[in-house]
Structure 1
Amino acid sequence: MTLARRFLPSTSLLCAFEAAARLQSFTAAAAELHLTQSAVSRQILALEDLLGTALFLRERQRVRPTAAGEAYAVEIRAALTRIANATLGFRANPDGGTLQLAILPTFGTRWLAPRLPRFLEAHPGITLNLSTRLLPFDFQLDNLDAAIHFGEPHWPGAELDLLMRETVVPACNPALRRRHRFRSAAQLLDASLLHLDSRPEAWARWFASHGLGAPKAPGMRLDQFALATQAAIAGLGIALLPRFLIEAELARGDLVLALDSPMESAERYYLAWPSSRATFAPLQAFRRWLIAETAAAGGP
């Protein structure tokens, strides 16, 4: 940290710069920070002197960041947000820690959430904050410690734990199956198929596993498994769904297998985290617990 401290401005300089860049006004930044306009101006000049370049274009009664200043402001804003969240988390839970976890919506609600009370009971000092994400993101920009990831074992800048495999099945409501009486995969080519935006090739892979080409009809597109499940229950078509996420619907008879022909997905479920958080105690505890839970459920 000795070298780094030479390039570590004080938080007062950074807060003044971030506010001025966001508001494009030294006067407005001063009002927000409860300082005088001259104080903010001096802090910006001190930061520019440290960096060796101008951060703002000064135009009569207004200022605006330079291109380099705007890029710097984005990074500083993210860093200040992370510091503020870390402080808030510590104040809320000084004897433990706060884990910021991104989850896949249906996996989170159907599989993870019912099991979380066991984790929280075993680790009463840890606060777990959840947010839903459908797509990968940048750990350097998002205030997250870890994420549940479905896909290939590749996430730049992150480490991965394999959690479980997945088997998908073609599911529909009982009335639709009775009406069509599907007996072969080829018959599904002419059926109404429900497609997930996040898995556009899923049906093509399923048909290919039966030696068939991709269906020609486009079919309805949906953006989440929960919506696809409800659409299938409503009789809008056949959805290719992870079996472990629809066990309750199958048990109740809301859904049935259009054809008893499961397929293992090429992708897997992983826990991903940035290397910089590898020693973070709440993350270590959650990793151990999650691996044990998925092993008990039959993974990986």
Structure 2
Amino acid sequence: MFDFNKSYVGDSDKILEEMTKSGLKFDLILTDPPYNLNKDFGNDSDSLSKEEFLFINEDRIKKCRDLLSPHGSLIWFGIHKYIGYLQVMMYESGLFYRQMNIWHYENGFSRSKKNPATQYEPFLWFSKSNKKWTYNADDVRVPYKSTERLKSPVYYKDRHGNRRVWEPNPNGALRGDIWSYPTLSGKAFEKERTSHPTQKPESLITEIIKAFCPKNIDGKYEGTILDPFHGSGTVGVCCEKLNKEGNLIKWIGIELEDKWVNIANERIEKLKV
């Protein structure tokens, strides 16, 4: 039996199997698994051979597929070195490709002068169904690059030759597939940043939740979300912050190391004050 809105300590590969047997389903699986870049998470999960890394992730993708609700989505962060392999695995698992998105940032730093500096990380979006899925386009609109287009309507002709008017949405333009949010580097983010080596910014994760979490008839986010690689708990923190605004998100995080679960719980406890 699994309770929602908490982090579980353990091996996600085993816990995902237990969740499947228990009949759990999730509307959104949003996760940032190890990239296999030799990061120190307190174990060797990020230091595998290429063959082992691909084998393990193929199995993980299938387990996530089996936990998705009929109209659920899988959002999976990766690195350019392996993202092509993971995309093919998702196709072959029977999931349906929706889009590859890019998390773009300009405040990272270069680890080598032999290659261009890294300024992005891709994340894949696949759905369980090829007919119905959740994407709340109006919830994640972005500011127009120019305010000039807000001043007057634009006229055009439709396919039948009729004159129509297009007026800009006051809430901004539709989001594209480039999601620009700074990394958690520098003094500006010292209050949010933990010691976790690959922590994602709350601003980015919150926006992804708003985009892909189902909503109820009252317009509140009301879905189930799973992060099998919860790290320092950013997905849970973002869900809880949204719930404090009146939303009804149920979430579960899984993390192998006690250290990170403790940090995640500390972050979430601070929200209750």
Structure with higher Rg: it is 1
Same fold (TM > 0.5): no
Could you say which structure has the higher helix fraction? 1
* Higher RCO (Cα < 8 Å, 6 or more apart): 2
Calculate the TM-score normalised by the size of structure 2. 0.24
Calculate the TM-score normalised by the size of structure 1. 0.23
